[in-house]
Amino acid sequence: METNQNFYDLVLKNGWVIDPSQSLNGRFDVAVRDGKIVAVAEQLPLYEAKQIVAANNYLICPGFIDLHVHVYEWKTTFGLPADDVGINAGVTTIVDQGSSSPFTFSGFKSDIVEKSQTDVRSFLLVNHAATQTIGNTESGLENPQKIDKETLIKVAQANPEIVRGFKVHADSGSISRWGMGVLKLAKEVSDRTNLPLYVHTGELFPVVESNRPNPEKVVENALSYMKAGDILGHCYSCQPDGLMGTRTQVPEWLFAAIERGILLDLGHGLKFSFDIARRMIAQGVFPDTVSSDAHGSFKQLHDDSTLNYSLCGGISKLMALGLNLEDAIATVTINPSRVLKAEAEIGTLKVGSIADITILELVEGDWLFFDALEQPLEAKQKLIPVGVVRLGKLIQPNCRLLRDLVAIAP
Ligand SMILES: [Zn+2]
């Protein structure tokens, strides 16, 4: 049968397209067929389509990628339902940061990856058990004796589509117990697989006070195990052992790290400080990627009632802090897709790429956001997802977890 080149499954007509991967910022029609982007044009020539959406009032972007979420539901206390932080939050690809490990990955793959509409990827925790539940927070997630290098490498290499890197913690609690050994092992695994490390920063686990590391040295020391393409998470953390800590000036070693290709990720979570962000932004330090670190309660099983931040909320806050819209979109599209080495498929609207699209409303008004320290931030705009296209199919997000952006019934 002859295929009609002007017949499409879906056309998003005359939307405001921002695609930093192609430096697109303007009015375009976007056409989808067989789950792929097949045309982007100022005005498509005569065509037929099964579904046409008038997108005049909407922002059309490559499907958003959230590089840091926790979605190993039921196996970790705090794992969220993947599609609630994925497509239902306007996000087509999510990356679970370290909720699964070489010993639990197969369950993650069959229970979460294969059952979700959202594209789910993973950075494996280097520790072989990974799962964190109530009562075992001190059991040694970063104990180097619980690392099985060969199995890590084997699991990563057997699942190249899903496993895109490794998660490791450089926090004072872990270091006070086990030193930097885990980073050394993680670096070896990263080098042998050619996959990046995502390094958590900022105090997280209980610290052995008699052996507390100098907070000013924690990130600097971790950097000696990191190479270009590796990621420092929670870049605007308020914790004293974070990137900025109590400093007023960005340290020289951090500029040097950025210069040699170390990437910074927002990892919003519970420690994002507007004050730290302002200090770093004043010296030109923005995150390469914005991610949510969306997770449920650490103390209750399967409880997301307290989650009050999101990916679209995170980029709205960054915009209020001075990041321009185009660069903000890049932090959740092309930049994270490069981290995943998937820039030909996702994070772009290039013809031939997967038809994953985020459709948003840029809402003007007087909004107030709050950070981890309950400091306010005035914002004039916020980005609210109104639709996603996932593998060519149009879906309306339920926005159930977007408490920072929309009023949600209790
Ligand atoms: Zn996290």
- What separation in Å is there between the alpha carbon of 112 and the centre of ligand 1? 17
Q: Which residues, chain by chain, have CB under 5 Å from ion ligand 1? A: 97, 293
Distance between CA 406 and CA 251 in Å, rounded? 38
Number of structural domains, the chain?
1
pTM of the model: 0.96
Q: Is position 133 within any domain?
A: yes
Q: Which of 370, 400, 365 is nearest to 385 (CA)?
A: 400
Q: Is position 75 within any domain?
A: yes
- Give one DSSP letter per residue of 165-180, joined into a string: EEEEEE-HHHHHHHTT
Q: Is position 138 within any domain?
A: yes
Q: Model confidence over 261-272: pLDDT tens digits?
A: 999 999 999 999
In the chain, % of residues over pLDDT 90 = 85
> Domain span at residue 256?
64-339
- What separation in Å is there between the alpha carbon of 97 and the centre of ligand 1? 6
Average pLDDT value for the chain: 94
- What separation in Å is there between the alpha carbon of 70 and the centre of ligand 1? 6
The yes-or-no verdict on residue 154 having pLDDT over 60 is yes
- What separation in Å is there between the alpha carbon of 169 and the centre of ligand 1? 10
- What separation in Å is there between the alpha carbon of 21 and the centre of ligand 1? 27
Which residue reads 């980073």 in tokens? 183
- What separation in Å is there between the alpha carbon of 133 and the centre of ligand 1? 14
* Averaged pLDDT for residues 182-210: 95
Q: Is position 28 within any domain?
A: no
Please provide residue 216's backbone torsions phi and psi, each rounded to the nearest 5 degrees: -70, -15
Query: What's the pLDDT at 1?
Result: 41
Q: Is position 352 within any domain?
A: no
- What separation in Å is there between the alpha carbon of 352 and the centre of ligand 1? 33
Q: Is position 348 within any domain?
A: no
pLDDT confidence tier of residue 142, bands split at 50, 70 and 90: confident
The yes-or-no verdict on residue 348 having pLDDT over 80 is yes
CATH code at position 231: 3.20.20.140
Is pLDDT larger for residue 136 or for residue 249? 249
Residue 123 half-sphere exposure toward CB, CA atoms < 13 A: 31
CA dihedral (132, 136, 137, 140) positive or negative: negative
